[in-house]
Copies of this chain bind each other. A is one copy, B any other.
């Protein structure tokens, strides 16, 4: 038995797909939790050796709950990142097959999946009400449980397959290349040679924000440390005060990074290190059954 891996469940979510990709061969050890805080807490308390949660989406931006729990609630290192393609599927109960798309009355999904497909949904199902549910897998389950309702679910292909739904449209996200960054946290993961590396830091400015952020960026620039992302998150103490979550393309132990951090800390900025970790990309979803594209496309074009 492999060591347990906590992930944002239930079975059939995008995070489940990402956890399967990050921990091949661990299928028996993958343990679904019902929220991002629950995953991170399980790792923080040592109930699970590893955890997998989403951290950023190409369309929706940061997953604030992940950043805020890393910042405020837990002390867990980041040990890997996976950039994973997000393909949203529109799925119905097989009993509803043949019904025109624009006559469905309700769209069920997680708020972020609905946000990622809003253009498509406004165009093709303009009269349908949106229902937020706890996960994309939950949306598929509810459609399965209500065969007589004119409901559609938006979510993963694996959830549709799990609950026996019929796919009526594929890749319905608002931009063609929709990727989500997932992170693994907890114990160190053995990494493939030749992986590219990243580091994550939290910079807390001493007081007045604009000038201080400018000086922080100046330090990294001066020492040639390339930053791939800067995300402000509220301190939660007062409106208008922020922490900065920074991703760099240099390892923490690199001399230039050490010098930049030293300089920033000398100005009474607090820096917290989330670790250095390998960055993976995942281009092919090869763990699922192929879907018949022609059928879905024909349905969609009616």
The interface of chain A, by Cβ under 8 A from chain B, is 37, 56-61, 64-65, 83, 111, 115, 118, 122, 130, 132-134, 174-175, 177, 179, 181, 209-211, 213-214, 217-218, 220-221, 226-234, 236-240, 242
Contact = CB atoms under 8 A, between A and B. Distances in A.
B234 A59 contact: yes
A240 B213 contact: no
A210 B239 contact: no
Nearest to A67: B61
Contacts of A220: 210, 214
A234 B58 contact: yes
A56 B239 contact: yes
Given A61-B64, A179-B239, A229 B228 contact: no
Given A58-B238, A214-B220, A229-B232, 10 more contacts: A57-B239, A58-B234, A58-B240, A60-B64, A177-B238, A177-B239, A210-B217, A210-B226, A211-B221, A214-B221
A283 to B, nearest CB: 13
- Protomer copies: 2
A203 to B, nearest CB: 13
Nearest to A118: B37
Contacts of A133: 132
Contact of A221 (B134, B210, B229, B233): B210
A25 to B, nearest CB: 27
Contacts of A211: 221
Given A58-B234, A227-B209, A239 B132 contact: no
Contacts of A134: 130, 132
Of the candidates A83, A220, A239, the one having the most CB atoms from chain B within 10 angstroms of its own CB is A239
Contacts of A61: 64, 232-234
6 contacts: A58-B240, A61-B233, A213-B217, A214-B220, A218-B218, A229-B232
Nearest to A237: B175
A175 B237 CA distance: 7
Nearest to A173: B236
Contacts of A230: 210, 213, 232
B174 A239 contact: no
Contacts of A132: 111, 132-134
Of the candidates A174, A217, A236, the one having the most CB atoms from chain B within 10 angstroms of its own CB is A236
A238 B239 CA distance: 30
Contact of A240 (B217, B221, B228, B239): B228
5 nearest A-B residue pairs (beta carbon): A132-B132, A210-B227, A58-B239, A214-B217, A179-B239
A37 B231 CA distance: 24
